[in-house]
A = this chain, B = another copy of it.
């Protein structure tokens, strides 16, 4: 490993209910093969594997998922697993990893519930972000926006920097009119939750803006313990942290926020319509995509996915049909965001 390697920190929090009934509490989104044969988590690992510009990954996850992570990592020399004693959002998870890395290491924070169609573009953006992070910028990937999405936060570009831009402003999820303005201006990118920091710098900024969190992280690490390649932070100290995203805790406060543009076929696969979109390259001439046994007549832009039973469909357009265990879900693409409100998704 070169001293200047980039240290991938792979976050396995979250999961969400909008990919129910396939994504469930017991097998959440990162650990499912949604696009292709590998799971999203495996793809996140693979994107930075076999390339000596990247160190082996540090994975941060809850204890519930340690077994599936170990199984899905397979033979991954040097990989380490940090087990969160409780779910406290991204700032504590990232700070834990930062405290376990050398202060001068550049960390690349990668959520594991996203799909990236173009890994080369991802790695190019990671190198640009790492270069800025070495200069003590806190760097967010600015995902190229291709629609007026109201479900994401936006980053507004400021002064140009080598390989990126200072961030002028963070914008919370906008309404549709504002999202359309942002898209038209060309000045905004989506905040995809992918970051590069120098580990010591991230901790210093955290200490400035969230001193109590920084103190508790220090305690959790000092009193924590390695068990082979697994690190267990001290549970009491970690659990005492007030959970917060790294955006709120650090990025929106610092004067050193930067972004690198990343046009890499990114999708958060936030619901079944988004999965259909991410799989559109595999669609047939009518736009239909089948994962599992399916017979379609007179259908357009239909996604079917079954873990067993055959799905037969007639006359549908822009619909997703999902069969998993003893649950059958049928949703329009437009309605996909409401899947999380279904009793089956809520009462897992």
Contacts and interface: CB of A to CB of B under 8 A. Distances in A.
A315 interface: yes
A74 interface: no
16 contacts: A295-B342, A297-B338, A297-B341, A297-B342, A309-B328, A310-B327, A311-B330, A312-B342, A312-B345, A314-B338, A315-B332, A315-B335, A316-B319, A316-B330, A319-B330, A321-B330
Contact of A312 (B309, B311, B329): B329
Interface residues of A, number: 35
Given A311-B329, A312-B339, A314-B338, 10 more contacts: A295-B342, A297-B338, A297-B341, A298-B335, A310-B326, A310-B344, A312-B342, A314-B330, A316-B331, A316-B335
Nearest to A341: B297
Contacts of A310: 326-328, 344
A281 interface: no
Copies in the complex: 2
B328 A328 contact: yes
A124 interface: no
A323 B343 CA distance: 19
A306 B341 CA distance: 21
A336 interface: yes
A313 interface: yes
A328 B315 contact: no
